[in-house]
Amino acid sequence: MCGRYTLTDVEELISRFQAEPGSLELAPRYNVAPEQVQPVVVRDETNRLELMRWGLTPFWSKDQRSRMINAKVEGILTKASFRRPIRYHRCLVPATGFYEWKKEPSGKVPYYIRRKDGNLFAFAGIYDKWKDPPDNEFKTFAILTTAPNELLAQVHNRMPVILQPQQEIEWLTTEPSKVDELLKSLQPMPADQLELYPVSRMVNWVKNDSPRLIQKEA
């Protein structure tokens, strides 16, 4: 799964994803947690940055309590909460890294995972639009997960779907009728493109959000 991630290179978002910025004011984040609002990339005729809350609420939900942060690729087309978003509401979730926890004799140890080149990347995401009784619209998103590569398998039995740059436009623009083929093209990012190392347990507390969190522990 993916339960925390980072987005530290916010000044590069516009150029990296060729996106219209709108009026967003963003700060580097080192400990993004569920239910927080973060930028995602959506596309009409062009890419656009938009703020959404992490934790998907289906459009048919009676309230906002249905907050699914992850969506398994396997069976996603048959899940009531995901089958509409995966066809009509796909997005990119920009990130610079993410955390996973490994069970060890001393307790759960957090590990930080990022691209070896340190570049921005995108998780494959889906979103939905939920309206309250007064008709106010709220947009929420979830991150797709898949089986881990050999690197991530050391710490967890799932990993987020990280798109290669050449896959990103396809993810945003594929027609609903061709989503089955699109899903088949998703593969775990090769282990040799990522690095993984232990970090401070400070990341366990959402209030902690600083560069210290992604420093390697001895």
Catalytic hit among 2, 137, 150, 170: 2
Please report the pLDDT score of residue 80 as a whole number.
93
Domain architecture of the chain: domains with CATH: 5-214 (3.90.1680.10)
Vertex 7 angle, CA 148 and 174, to 5°: 60
pTM of the entire predicted model: 0.95
Average pLDDT, the chain: 94
In the structure, what pLDDT confidence band is assigned to residue 45 with cuts at 50, 70 and 90?
confident
Tell me, rounded to whole angstroms, the distance of Cα 26 from its chain centroid.
Answer: 17
* Mean pLDDT to the nearest integer, 129-149: 91
* Between 136 and 114, residue with greater pLDDT: 114
Catalytic hit among 100, 137, 170, 181: 100
Share of the chain above pLDDT 90, in %: 84
pLDDT digits (tens, 9 = 90+) for 115-135: 999 999 999 999 999 988 787
Please report the pLDDT score of residue 20 as a whole number.
81
pLDDT digits (tens, 9 = 90+) for 98-112: 999 999 888 999 999
* Mean pLDDT to the nearest integer, 8-19: 92
Please report the pLDDT score of residue 91 as a whole number.
98
* Mean pLDDT to the nearest integer, 60-89: 92
The answer on pLDDT for 199 being more than 80 is yes
The answer on pLDDT for 66 being more than 80 is no
Please report the pLDDT score of residue 67 as a whole number.
82
Q: Is 91 a catalytic residue?
A: no
Please report the pLDDT score of residue 135 as a whole number.
76
